[in-house]
């Protein structure tokens, strides 16, 4: 058995598939089913999927804000791992880690974007400043990002209004914690150093993200007005 549980391994009696089929006429539910199947790994049960079928429709402004905060962090993580795999600087267990986590983070992005619908914040541009292009820098950065992600979800969980959204957030939170333990193990540091993890506020997390300078502006490659000076 692979380290990741597949839908077939978890859903031996077909209960999850039945649940998803029952709600498949809902577009978000259809997306959830597709995204879970497409990623090859599964993190929750059918009841959770049903509960999160259309969170943004009933979400409070507070919950939309929290989901968008989570989406921003997931954009960053997904892009970081995807780019790290593409750059070709990783090898061995680090590359295996990056490939699988990239898949998870892209699934988180897809999940949150679909849940938020038109309320989703757009993806920013990123400059990872060489941390995706060197294995040692990647390992150190990945640990910081995962530890930060765990603290971020823990900090927001008590503030979430909807139980359905809370359940979904917790299902992502535990995966981020697994990522954190995994990269900590790779880095040779204690995977679970404490009995209790401290949470962090949104402000602290955003300050930490800003300090990385990973989120940047998009190159301004269009202009209007004036007159071109091309050779004509």
Partner 1 sequence: MAVPALLALAFVVFVAVAYGQEPQAPGAGAVVLPAIPAASGESAASALAGSETVGPQPLSNPNGVSRFMAVLEPVDARAQPGGARIVARLSTRTPEGTTNVVLALARVEREGKLWIKVRLPVLPNNTTGWIRRESLGGYNTVNTHLVVSTRTLTATLYRFRKAVFSARVGIGQSRWPTPTGRFYIRNKLTRYSSPVYGPLAFGTSARSAVLTDWPAGGFVGIHGTNQPRLIPGRISHGCIRLRNADILRLAQLMPPGTPLTIV
Site of interaction with partner 1 (CB under 8 A) = 82-83, 85-91, 99, 102-103, 106, 125-130, 133-134, 216, 218-232
Nearer to partner 1 by Cβ, of 106 and 184: the residue is 106
Which is nearer to partner 1, 106 or 114 (by Cβ)?
106
Please spell the DSSP secondary structure of 103-148, one letter per residue.
HHHHHHHHHHHHHHGGGSPPP-EE--TTTTSSHHHHHHHHHHHHHH
Of the pair 15, 129, the CB lying nearest partner 1 is at 129
CB–CB of 135/91 below 8 Å? yes
**Judged by CB, which is closer to partner 1: 158, or 217?**
217
**Minimal distance in Å, beta carbon 73 to partner 1?**
17
Task: Give strand pairing partners of 208.
Answer: none
Contact 64, 39 (CB under 8 A): no
Shortest CB 75 distance to partner 1, Å: 13
CB of 33 to partner 1, least distance (A): 20
**What backbone torsions phi and psi does residue 97 show, to the nearest 5 degrees?**
-55, -50
For residues 87 and 144, which CB has a smaller minimum distance to partner 1 in the complex?
87
Q: Give min distance, CB of 2 to partner 1, in A.
A: 16
Which residues have C-beta within 8 Å of that of residue 170, sequence separation ≥ 6?
153, 157
Q: How far is the CB of 24 from partner 1 (least distance, A)?
A: 25
Instruction: Return the SS3 of 71.
Output: helix
Kindly tell me which of 203 and 222 has the beta carbon lying closer to partner 1. Answer: 222
Whole-angstrom distance, CA of residue 110 vs CA of residue 115:
8
Phi–psi pair at 210, nearest 5 degrees: -60, -35
Least distance (Å) between residue 119 CB and partner 1: 24
* Rounded CA separation 17/11 (Å): 7
The CA distances from residue 158 to 92, 119, 164, 200, 203, in Å, are 38, 22, 13, 12, 15
CB of 61 or CB of 221, closer to partner 1: 221
Report the nearest approach of partner 1 to the CB of residue 123 (Å). 12
């Amino acid at each position: 058995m692979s380290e990741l549980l597949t839908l077939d391994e978890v859903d031996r009696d077909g209960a999850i598939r039945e649940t998803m089929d029952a709600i498949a006429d809902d577009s978000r539910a259809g997306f959830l089913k597709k995204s879970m199947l497409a990623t090859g790994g599964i993190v929750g049960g059918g009841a959770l999927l049903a509960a999160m079928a259309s969170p943004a429709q009933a979400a409070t402004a507070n919950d939309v804000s929290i989901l968008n905060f989570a989406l921003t962090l997931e954009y960053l993580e997904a892009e970081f791992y995807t780019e790290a795999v593409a750059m070709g600087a990783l090898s061995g267990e680090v590359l295996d880690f990056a490939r699988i986590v990239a898949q998870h983070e892209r699934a988180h992005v897809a999940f949150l974007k679909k849940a938020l619908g038109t309320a989703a914040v757009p993806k920013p541009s990123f400059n990872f400043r060489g941390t995706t292009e060197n294995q040692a820098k990647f390992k150190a950065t990945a640990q910081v990002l995962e530890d930060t992600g765990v603290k971020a979800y823990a900090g927001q969980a008590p503030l979430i209004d909807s139980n359905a959204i809370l359940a979904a957030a917790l299902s992502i939170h535990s995966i981020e914690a697994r990522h954190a333990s995994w990269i900590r193990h790779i880095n040779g540091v204690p995977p679970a150093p404490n009995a209790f993890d401290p949470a962090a506020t949104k402000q602290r997390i955003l300050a930490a993200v800003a300090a990385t300078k990973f989120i940047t502006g998009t190159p301004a490659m269009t202009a209007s007005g004036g007159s071109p000076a091309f050779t004509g």
